[in-house]
Amino acid sequence: MKEIQIENRPALQVIGRYTREDLLIDADPPYILGTRNGEIYWNEMTDDDHCDLLKVLNDHPGPVLLSGYANDLYIDMLSNWQCEERQQVIETGQVRTEVLWINPVAANHGSRQSYRCQAFNTLCTWYIDHH
């Protein structure tokens, strides 16, 4: 992978450090607890944590992709984002609908780029201005 940096720090710190139009954020936080079958992560996020994350992602000037399950908080706060849904078989063998939220910059702006979305096992497209 070329020109990719992985950091093990709190997400809001990292996002704040890289507030740039040419930077793609692929956010895959622990899904909202109310959409899952109990706590499974050592570092769960509260609904308030998700709200803080969504505010920062909404303010990011570049492209953003956000994975999760459908929930009222995301639907309300990301009402101007596009959504792609995919059926996925999860660890328990159940079929769940995962959602990829795509911010307006990623959906509508600049020159076409391709990005491999592992969660959806498909090719997603976002748009970014390289000028």
The predicted-structure confidence for 29-78, as pLDDT tens digits, reads as follows 988 988 887 777 778 899 999 999 999 999 999 989 999 999 999 999 99
pLDDT at 96 over 50: yes
More confident residue, 120 or 14: 14
The rounded Cα 79 to chain-centroid distance in angstroms is: 14
Cα torsion angle, 49, 70, 17, 117, sign: positive
Please tell me what DSSP assigns to residue 31.
P
Q: Tell me, what's the pLDDT at 55? A: 97
Question: Which structure tokens are listed for 73?
Answer: 């908080």
State how far the Cα of 12 lies from the Cα of 30, in Å rounded to an integer.
14
Residues 6 or more apart whose Cβ sits within 8 Å of residue 109: 63, 127, 128, 129
Q: Does 115 score more than 80 pLDDT? A: no
- How far is the CA of 85 from the CAs of 32, 66, 130, in angstroms? 17, 12, 28
- Confidence grade of residue 117 (pLDDT, cut at 50, 70, 90): very low
Higher pLDDT, 34 or 113: 34
pLDDT at 100: 92
Q: pTM for this structure?
A: 0.77
Beta carbons within 8 Å of 4's beta carbon, 6+ residues apart? none
Q: pLDDT value at position 61?
A: 93
